[in-house]
Structure 1
Amino acid sequence: MPAPNATGRGAGQGPDRYAELHAGFHWQVPRHFNIAEACCARWARRTPDAVAIHWAREDGRRGRLTYAQLQVGSERLAAVLAARGVRRGDRVAIVMPQRVETAVAHMAVYRLGAVAMPLSMLFGPEALAFRLNDSGARLAIVDETAVDNLTAARADCPGLETVLAVGAAAGRGDLDWDDALAAVRPRRTAVRTAADDPAVLIYTSGTTGPPKGALIPHRALIGNLTGFVCSQNWYPHTPARGQQRDDAPVFWSPADWAWTGGLMDALLPVLYFGRPIVAWQGRFTPDAAFALMQRYKVTHSFLFPTALKAMMKAEPEPRRRWKLRLRAIMSAGEAVGDAVFVWTRDALGVTLNEMFGQTEINYVVGNCALHWPARPGSMGRPYPGHRVAVIDDEGKECPRGTPGDVAVHRRDVHGHPDPVFFLGYWHNDPATRAKYTGDPGDSWCRTGDTAVMDADGYLWYQGRSDDMFKAAGYRIGPSEVENCLVKHPAVANAAVVPKPDAERGAVVKAYVVLAPGFVGDDALVASLQQHVRGRLAPYEYPKEIEFIDALPMTTTGKVQRRVLRLQEQARFDAHSGT
């Protein structure tokens, strides 16, 4: 997809061009397509000295990598992998955080026509072993952040033939990165891949059962691009006449490159457009986030709601302290809510573009403040190229205003195949079939997320289908209550779940993380309950509030409400003697 050329408009919103953009868009997917060629090789030829990655570490070290250096590194690593027997279709595990070697590894794997399997550095030995064995990965690339856990897992992974050690992990694998790359001649010939060939295997963190491996083709990156361009206010936005060179786009996100949000919403689309991305190898804190954005003159970002909430509580007026150049922020993973929306608009000077998608069908719904009005609290509208609806249990579209399952059709509004779709779950055909409703060539892919579509086509998130619950006969969507709680100055974050109740079935319970300086006591409980009662329906206010130091989170920054639900059920069972 060619890069649109337009100028960002800061916090303001442009005219509503949604219908025009959606009706006029047509996919252009070549028969052959390779992510490494699109994201690295072509820029190494055209703009070899352009910066691909600015890297910074928590210990103060920092530097940069050009597209030419990224290409040379990927050619050398491809030679190393090939010498170790990696061939087209083989799975290669990449167990590293945001660092230069992670990007090099992805490009090398794609060049070979192999499949990159990014794994979080936070995974323990059991989680690593399951994914390595299930995928049949024959080689793993790991640095010091995960080498201990990978070493522990390896004893249970007979198919893992080679471990390539990076950075401070040197000496703890079968090969060391620096020595191995220095000892080979670059492999300059790349495998020619079809657009439908597999490129990435990402294991999703489902709420039930073991994780499932979603197999993503090369073409899915093309399917992501309309959403990326729109949610980043017409990225990459080349400087207009009279603007300074330092107005050129620079992207940063704390999202881990081991997950769809970091890989497909940040690293790969930024490299696709030949622009720089910041790699931060360190902990996320509000101070670190603002400091990075100031130092690297970050213009575009993906910040998940938990990060934005922490930043909002830490810095109510950040522009008094930090010099920021933000032109667009996308947020996804959880419902943002109007409290964060208003703070981002007023305090950061940017109208937040919320986005919705999932690993299997990513970047399908969202906002673009530049070209259609963002509505606070809404997920947005389907991005150009995607046909999205809210459907019922039988696969029929729900009337506007009626909750249902958000689903994406295999074909766009023009009847053409949508390239964003995954190929299926790894070695799990029943799960793949269960994901779809309808005939194979004319089917909807269900997301498992509940929403309402209004008369103008905006979607309003209600929660994961398995997060919705009934209390005293009323259907409760946790995100609305959580958003209301976060507006209270004492609340840094909140999660709402059902608490089993013998008489009413369930009551609304809130787990609350306090903002600094506040004490959780009976008076604050009463204040929070009154705060919600005065803003939402009477049945929605939390009958019980429990203060907690931190909410259980996935490694992708999503609240694990299921953990809290199970805890409440266990407490109820223990009390009732069942």
Structure 2
Amino acid sequence: MSTSVSDPVKSVSAVDSAPSAPSAQVDRFVHERLPAPEQLPRMEYALPELRIPALANLVQALFDKAIREGRGDKPMLRSDKITLTYAEALERVNRIAQVLTEDFGLKPGNRVLLRGGNSIGMALAWLGVVQAGLVAVATMPLLRAKELGEIIEKARPALALCDATLLDELQAAQAPSAALPTIVPFNLMGAPGSLAVLSAQKDGNFKPCPVSADDIALMAFTSGTTGKPKAAVHTHRDVLAACEAWPRHVLKARPDDIVVGSPPLAFTFGLGGMLIFPMWAGASVYYPSIGYTPEAMVKLIKQVGATICYTAPTFYRQMAAFAKQHGVPGLRLCVSAGESLPDATRQLWKDATGIEMIDGIGATEMFHIFISAAGADVRRGAIGKVVPGYTAKVVDDTGAEVPRGTIGKLAVVGPTGCRYLEDERQGNYVKNGWNYPGDAFMQDADGYFFYQARADDMIITAGYNVAGPEVEDALLKHPAVAECGVVGLPDEERGMVVKAFIVLKPGEAGGDATAKALQDHVKATLAPFKYPRQVEFVDKLPRTETGKLQRFKLRQP
């Protein structure tokens, strides 16, 4: 299915090889805001398993697969309070879909904002939205009203489903906006108007929306380097094809697996690893009712007999001593992604558990992992090889592949690709049909890819993406700050650490108290993980003659 990358119009024609069907989404808001044809990524479906039927509702397909394979009475979703089988989960998903379509009159293609941490309630809500042919717009629980407001303005959701413990910030975001008329709380039993009470009134007899495989399943928001939110759009075909790539060829989960992990369902890394991919394998997922600490994660793995764990390198490093102390006898697969995996962390974890970690690089824009390695295929220092179904290369600024052993920019094509919702940055990510995730890589003679650095100003700290300009904007709102620059610096514990260089206004004094005040200010303005853990007061910032901040100079020792 390959086409010439020098012709961007022809390069997108590979998508035509996939069977198509008429769209069921009568709300065309997302469809009408997709990139122009010449800006679309090339899509490749060369492997037989990547050829998804023309009509394919991904939630229906995953449940049908489980039932067909005799797993209807097997556990799917677990917590310390309840375990739901695949059949029981399907009935609850159908009840939620009934509430959305019957009680609120939502039509296929309407967007539904979801706000919640990892829980059975959040998982069921997401599945119910997509089963009904609606577009899931999941948001991280740490986001504040300002950030939620930006997402609401861009996605224009018809409804929001929100964990009852996280209503405050969403209600604050709702107040100035006419774009979000209704919020329905979940994980709230017995309260009138809650999703639980409304769902209990339904019979669970719901016919899944007969969407085209190319209808929209989700919008995943990513901040990018400017802090201005970007919405990456993925279809039902994208998600089902992703199931047939990395999970099939690298992860190789089994029906008896029990999955635990820390990545939020609002991240595509978490959505795949902590819900979609376990369903595809017929496995189960455990969501604890309280947050994780490194020791609590290790104890939970042992307590529930977890066999697969997803988390960031920072967490594995912190968990290693506890794993050695308590033991993790059932654990067999450990997936690391979200930030660069230092070899020291890999070896520390291997020494503590005997497990060779599965590293991987993916992107919200690509849905999930496209370069990875497991078991005997792991090579020290490398992330891995390209996942079957994808093609990757290291290129120069013209898009020409560089010699092996040379550092360049990563370019990828496969069964998933970047489609931003109405965003001029589409042209930066997709060039001549190839996706450019913004990473610098080197590929060796054997095809292994070695991560070098981010090619832009994104700070990746403990698995979270932080845009420096967004933090700068928050700091500049503090009355003591005249100028500031925010960068990421290497950090053994967190991969990178957010550091702010501050120029104070005349009469303001630097010092520990001022630094803490500024850190608290950012925590109150943005998601807490974005605050600068290091603050340095300086007399001036390095700038070009035109006044542009030279962040590369701030990164120098």
Give the shorter-chain TM-score range.
Answer: 0.7 to 0.9
For the pair 1:85 / 2:105, whether they are aligned, the reply is: yes
Call closer, same or farther: CA 1:25–1:337 in 2, change over 3 Å.
farther
Query: For residues 366-385 of structure 1, what are the structure 2 equivalents within 5 Å?
Result: 366-370=371-375, 372-385=376-389
CA distance in 1, matches of 2:105, 2:173: 22
1:420 to 2:416 alignment: yes
1:222 aligned partner: 240
Superimposed CA distance per residue, residues 127-155 of structure 1 (whole angstroms, 9 cap, x where no aligned partner): 11111121010100111331111111111
With the length of structure 1 as denominator, give the TM-score of the two structures: 0.71
Q: 1:104 aligns with which of 124, 127, 136?
A: 124
Determine if contact 1:147/1:169 at 8 Å carries over to the other structure.
no
Aligned mates of 2:126, 2:496 — CA distance in 1: 35
Aligned residue among 433, 436, 448 for 2:430: 436
Q: Which residue of 1 aligns with 2:219?
A: 201
Match of 1:48 among 72, 75, 94: 72
User: Aligned-pair distance for 1:405?
Assistant: 1.3
* Correspondence 1:306-321 to 2 at 5 A: 306-312=314-320, 314-315=321-322, 318-321=323-326
| 1:228–1:363 CA contact under 8 A, matched in 2 | no
How large is the RMSD of aligned CA atoms in angstroms?
3.4
Question: Which residue of structure 2 lines up, in the alignment, with residue 390 of structure 1?
Answer: 394
TM-superposition CA deviations, 1:439-490 (whole Å, max 9, x none):
xxxx211000111111111111111112599xxxxxxxx99x94xx73xxxx
Deviation at 1:356, TM superposition (A): 0.3
The residue that corresponds to 1:30 in the other structure is: 53
Residues 299, 327 of structure 1: 8 Å contact kept: yes
Spell out the pairing of 1:8-407 with structure 2 (5 A cutoff).
Answer: 27-44=50-67, 46-56=70-80, 62-83=81-102, 84-168=104-188, 175-225=193-243, 226-232=245-251, 234-236=252-254, 248-312=256-320, 314-315=321-322, 318-370=323-375, 372-407=376-411
Q: What is the one-letter code of the residue matched to 1:227?
A: W
Matching residue's letter, 2:196:
D
Shift of 1:493: 4.1
Give the superposition deviation at 1:559.
8.3
Tell me the distance in 1 between the aligned counterparts of 2:528 and 2:143: 16
Say if 1:365 and 1:380, in contact at 8 Å, map to a contact too.
no
Q: Is the 8 A contact 1:221 1:269 kept in 2?
A: no
If the length of structure 2 is used for normalisation, what is the TM-score? 0.74
Structure 1 residues 453, 77: CA separation in 2 closer, same or farther (over 3 Å shift)? same
Task: Label 1:393 to 1:145 Cα distance change in 2 as closer, same or farther (>3 A).
Answer: farther
Task: Give the distance between the partners of 1:394 and 1:89, measured in 2 at CA.
Answer: 38
Partner SS state of residue 367, structure 1: strand
Q: Which residue of structure 1 lines up, in the alignment, with residue 507 of structure 2?
A: none
Q: Structure 1: any 5+ residue segments left out of the alignment?
A: 1-21, 57-61, 239-247, 410-417, 470-477, 487-491, 501-548
Asked whether the equivalents of residues 144 and 169 of structure 1 are also in contact (C-alpha less than 8 Å), the reply is no
Distance 1:208 1:499 in 2: 16
CA shift, 1:353, in A, is: 1.2
- For residues 344 and 176 of structure 1, do their structure 2 counterparts lie closer, same or farther at Cα, with a shift above 3 Å needed? same
Structure 1 residue aligned with 2:435:
445
Q: CA deviation at 1:73?
A: 0.8
AA paired with 2:132? L
- Contact 2:390/2:415 (<8 A) preserved: no
Contact 2:119–2:287 (8 Å) recurs in 1: yes
1:366–1:380 contact (8 Å) kept in structure 2: yes
Distance 2:151 2:332 in 1: 38
For the structure 1 residues 454 and 468, does the alpha-carbon distance in structure 2 shift closer, same or farther, using more than 3 Å as the test?
farther
Is contact 2:239-2:367 (8 Å) kept?
A: no
Contact 1:222 1:420 in 2 (8 A): no
> For 2:405 and 2:352, how far apart are their aligned partners in 1?
32
The whole-number CA distance in structure 2 between the counterparts of 1:49 and 1:179 is 25
Name the residue aligned to 1:413: none
- Asked if the contact 2:359/2:374 (under 8 Å) is kept, the reply is no
- Deviation by residue 1:533-563 (Cα, 9 ceiling, x = unmatched): xxxxxxxxxxxxxxxx99x99xxx99869x6
Shift, 1:205, TM fit: 2.1
SS of 1:108's partner is helix
Amino acid at match of 2:66: W
* Correspondences of 1:466-477 after superposition (within 5 Å): 466-467=456-457
User: How far did residue 161 of structure 1 move?
Assistant: 2.4
Cα distance, 1:209 vs structure 2: 4.2
* Local SS of the residue matching 1:573: coil
- In the alignment of these two chains, the number of paired residues is 452
Residue 262 of structure 1: how far off its partner (Å): 0.8
Distance of aligned partners of 1:347 and 1:332 in 2 relative to their CA distance in 1, 3 Å threshold: same
C-alpha change, 1:184 and 1:309, in structure 2 (3 Å) is same
Identity of aligned residues (%): 27
Residue 183 of structure 1 deviates from its aligned partner by: 2.0
Judged with a 3 Å threshold, the aligned counterparts in structure 2 of structure 1 residues 495 and 106 are, in CA distance, closer, same or farther, namely closer
In the alignment, the residues of structure 2 paired with residue 456 and residue 498 of structure 1 have an alpha-carbon distance, to the nearest angstrom, of: 37
2:373, 2:383 within 8 Å by CA — same for their partners in 1? Answer: no
Would you say the 8 A contact 1:223–1:419 is kept in 2? yes
Q: How far has the Cα of 1:495 moved from its partner?
A: 3.2
- Secondary structure of the residue that 1:425 maps to in structure 2? coil
Q: Is the 8 A contact 2:121 2:187 kept in 1?
A: no
Q: Report the secondary structure of 1:336's partner residue.
A: coil
Cα distance change on mapping 1:265 and 1:420 into 2, 3 Å:
farther
Closer/same/farther in 2, CA of residues 164 and 80 from structure 1, 3 Å limit: same
Q: Give the Å deviation of 1:575.
A: 10
Q: How does 1:506-545 map to 2 (within 5 A)?
A: none
Partner Cα distance (1:560, 1:122) in 2: 10
8 Å contact from structure 1 (residues 205, 211) kept in 2: yes
Secondary structure at the counterpart of residue 384 of structure 1? coil
Check conservation: 1:26, 1:385, Cα contact below 8 A: no
Bigger shift: 121-130 or 32-41? Answer: 32-41
Match among 463, 466, 489 for residue 453 of structure 2? 463
Stretches of structure 2 that go unaligned for 5 or more consecutive residues are: 1-44, 460-486, 502-518, 548-557
C-alpha separation in 1, matches of 2:219 and 2:248: 24
